[in-house]
Structure 1
Amino acid sequence: MALYQLLRLFLLWACLPHFCCPEIMFRRTPVPQQRISDAHVPRSDGKILHRQKRGWMWNQFFLLEEYTGSDYQYVGKLHSDQDKGDGSLKYILSGDGAGTLFIIDEKTGDIHATRRIDREEKAFYTLRAQAINRRTLRPVEPESEFVIKIHDINDNEPTFPEEIYTASVPEMSVVGTSVVQVAATDADDPSYGNSARVIYSILQGQPYFSVEPETGIIRTALPNMNRENREQYQVVIQAKDMGGQMGGLSGTTTVNITLTDVNDNPPRFPQNTIHLRVLESSPVGTAVGSVKANDADIGKNAEVEYRIIDGDGTDMFDIITEKDTQEGIITVKKPLDYESRRLYTLKVEAENTHVDPRFYYLGPFKDTTVVKISIEDVDEPPVFSRSSYLFEVHEDIEVGTIIGTVMARDPDSTASPIRFSLDRHTDLDRIFNIHSGNGSLYTSKPLDRELSQWHNLTVIAAEINNPKETTRVAVFVRILDVNDNAPQFAVFYDTFVCENARPGQLFYQENSIAIFIVKLKMEQMD
């Protein structure tokens, strides 16, 4: 209670005319009102004006908020110069809170507040006062307004609208880069003292970040902060009123700051040389293997493009960038042959696709590695000397005559011997046969062009060491004609001729051959 009264006296002292605030000086200056009376004021035209003077006497009133005393808090006193102290006047109060929050002693004019008042709820109250004659109930003073202003005390701490803020700033930012601004509000009176003057300070987050005391702007405080070393930071900001002085109230908030990625790291291959293997039988487009350059950045800053820039295998292999995995997939570009070449060398480059010009000084954002590809042998099937064979033979050859020879070899380095055979589904009548060792085809039955002009055979070549490895080839045999058939009449002819027919006379016509024969017979009859 004593502390409260002492504070109240200090505030009242601050409001005296010698205080620096003119508004407060004016409001604390007593404004005595003269009693209503007649005064004769001459005018320039000779007429007399009657001017009334008011007799109210009181000060404008001030009241400290948050009064904690047990008694009613004294506000001030209303007084009229018509009051002789004999109790003949009655003071009446009306307006904001009259009769409930504020009460008046109708005899003395003393005003009291009945309960504690919070300035943040209402900063001032407008009331009206009147003095009347108790006996006649007539006003001796006209009703007039006055104000009770609530003086602020520092009873509200600064508060932040958010308990936790989330912010981000690019890594490698220069010192002083703005991250985010936080702002606290104080419900106290900003126009009175320093109760609502907020100063910001950083409680947690040094030496990485700082805060501007007046604005609450958080800035970077260390150069070249690297996301790859640390990504998340938690900063605690304090807002303190009374200009940050001792005794002020404070509030805090937490700011979670994330360093966002920039492209400050080039891709790097984990090995200088990579070894891969592929079967020689792999078709074009087959994936041989993959290479990958690691990039410490994330997102688009880690995207790379792979290309083959040198080597003796540039014509035989290609590389495709797999966007999802950020790998380079090496594929077969042309057919491979173990017997022709067993090892290829490629120089593969990985380069960032999104380069930040600010970090060119760090060097080229690419890397290279050597890829050695070994071609592995597979047991390949025999290979015929031709894609197909055509043999021509006369129909009158003897059985067992060789009509032609097919040739095949094992393309592998082992050069396995070859065994030949006929696919009997293409020679159901078993007219032909083949020597299994040398691929010579010969007849096993007589040929007749008049029965069949063409024979379409299939010859099978198989490795002796691996009979499962086989190859088939088509053999076309054309039968050539020989003159091995005499003319024949299609039917028997029976006709008559007169005995007196002249030689050379046409008596029947079937075809030129028949006429010729008849003529011969006629000549023979003669």
Structure 2
Amino acid sequence: MRQSAGRSSSARCLQVLWPFLLSLFRVALPDQIRYSIPEELTKNSVVANLAKDLGLSFRDLPARKLRISAEKDYFIINPESGDLLVSDRIDRERICGKQPLCVLDFDIVAENPLSIFPVAVTVQDINDNIPQFKQSKVDLKIGESTKPGKTFPLDPAVDADAGPNSLQRYLLNDNEYFDLTENETPDGDKYPELILKDSLDREEHNFHQLVLTAVDGGSPPQSGTTQIHIQVTDANDNPPVFSQDVFRVTLREDVPPGFSVFRVTATDQDEGVNAEITYSFHNVDELVEHFFNLDQRTGEITTKDELDFETANSYTLNIEAKDPGDLAAHCRVQVKILDENDCAPEVIVTSVFTPLPENSPPGTVIALIKTRDRDSGENGEVYCHVLGNGEFILKSSSKNYYKLVTDRALDREEIPEYNVTITATDRGKPPLSSRISITLRVSDVNDNVPVFQQASYLVHVPENNPPGASIAQVSASDPDLGPNGHVSYSIVASDLEPRALSSYVSVNPQSGVVFAQRAFDHEQLRAFELTLQARDQGSPALSANVSLRVLVGDLNDNAPRVLYPALGPDGSALFDLVPRAAETGYPGTGGRPPLSATATLHLVFADSLQEVLPDLGDSPAPSDAQAELQFYLVVALALISVLFLLAVILAVALRLRSSSSPASWGCFRPGLISKSGPGVVPTYSEGTLPYSYNLCVASQSAKTEFNFLNVTPGVAPAQDLLCDDASWVPHTNHGDTGAPSASDTILKVGFPLIRLFSF
């Protein structure tokens, strides 16, 4: 009884010192926010104002997005007030068992910026459990020869509470033969022992009944009882004896079921039936009976199931050896479990920030990673690394947290999505590892300028195109997404007049098709240049320019116009001279397709142009059309007669002179020579189509023919000729290649140029 009183006093001292020890434990962990709550609080009970303790104002709570990172959600956070609330009923005994200190560790994660705050909540025990014995009645058999002082261990009571509220002492009702003492196991559990105070006499009392009471230290205290029935048996002089009271065994956790752990052996000096010993577990935990088996005859201890160091790292096996006379001996087998690296590390992704803008700078946090390994020592030390992605690295944050951050710039157009694999490896031998993949999408930013398919564009458009016709199309590509990659087109510059630009061309802003707003005229506009711009819809918008040169092609859409000789009032020409020797193919017109204009040409054969050309330029228009016609007929007959006479006289004179002087040619005098040479067709510049007419008249020909030779555009204009160049030699029918016949008179008359304009 004195020992019980002493232990009760120690318990009271521990109860007084408990708050002081708890405060010392708080000082030992200055980096944690610590709270203390009693168990069995109702749901949504307020633990504390977490936001206040973190130094956060109520206005910051929506942006910081406080949340709890823990394996089991015992608590929640009120997002409006920042209070830490109990999410459900907390049973300290279920969570921490018999541990004297029950602490729930978790982390508070806050965003914007990312912060981690470790929190520890100590769950205080309340006296909500009554001490209970496993059996409501205990039967003992004690031989009458048992000497006083012999102890008999009894099954302890079980109280799930911890600390002062746990089981504190045992009480035995007053009796004459038995007393009670308390003892402790190496684990610190108390169990009662019955002590024989005086010798028993079966003949006097063969049966004793006792009441054992277990009392806890709560306020008020609670208790449980069991009945002890003792039967006094006849003498069995020698009980079994173990060689030692405690046996210690080490065992690897990876041993298979059925593995032999240890064999206990007890001896009995009796003979025969009294020496037969049976073995059994005595006062053991349920886990012992689950993992271990004891052979009643041999005392061999074997495993029944796979062991797990992470569940329990040691076991205490209390073994009883009993003979047929119910004399018993007791020993303990301490089994220590050795840890093996049998638990792979766990990788837990607590936060992922996706999608990630592609312009995020290096060092941007992508995800928050937590690792855990249930093994101990080196087997439980974990390190992480990123597998196969050079764009990302891991940085250790706090305790077992890592931050997954970018290590270089990202480009969505190159890689729009990443599968980031994170590998966690422990330091065991051999090491174990596990991995997890995080899918990260990269969001688009407007970082690409539209690019045209060509550096510049050149198009040919024939003139007289229909208004509204498509004349060209430009195209630009932009690899960005959405509005950042949507391209629109516009005309930003031109060499046309700004006010006239819209009346010439336009561009479709969506397709880039360039339309002619009017029919182009080569004779007015031969070429023009536009500057087109491709612009995306990003913010800010990006753009690129390209030049488009338009060449207006010429079509034969203008008829020739006679510039010389000048037209008369009625639209007919006056006079022009053609040499008598003019051959077929004499310079005239042509185009493709050929077009024509009509003018009346009067040919006068005379020695001097001034003699025969009438002054018609200033003649007044006749009032009577019939009289005017008769006038012109008379004039024409007169001129024809004069020209005929002159031609006859000229022919006779030339024939008379042919015998005395060398043949010479000329239009108005002998010796007509072309300065251009025979068959030479001059070239002229583009856009001007000049023509010259060389008219030559043969005096002896039966008839006079005049032909116009087409002169190719692009040669220099011919000069007026007086047929005095000896290099010009007409073709004759005499078959000679030298000087012309004296009988031929050739007249070459140079005409002013006829310029043709094409529109």
TM-score (ref. length: structure 2): 0.31
By percentage of residues, which structure has more strand?
Answer: 1
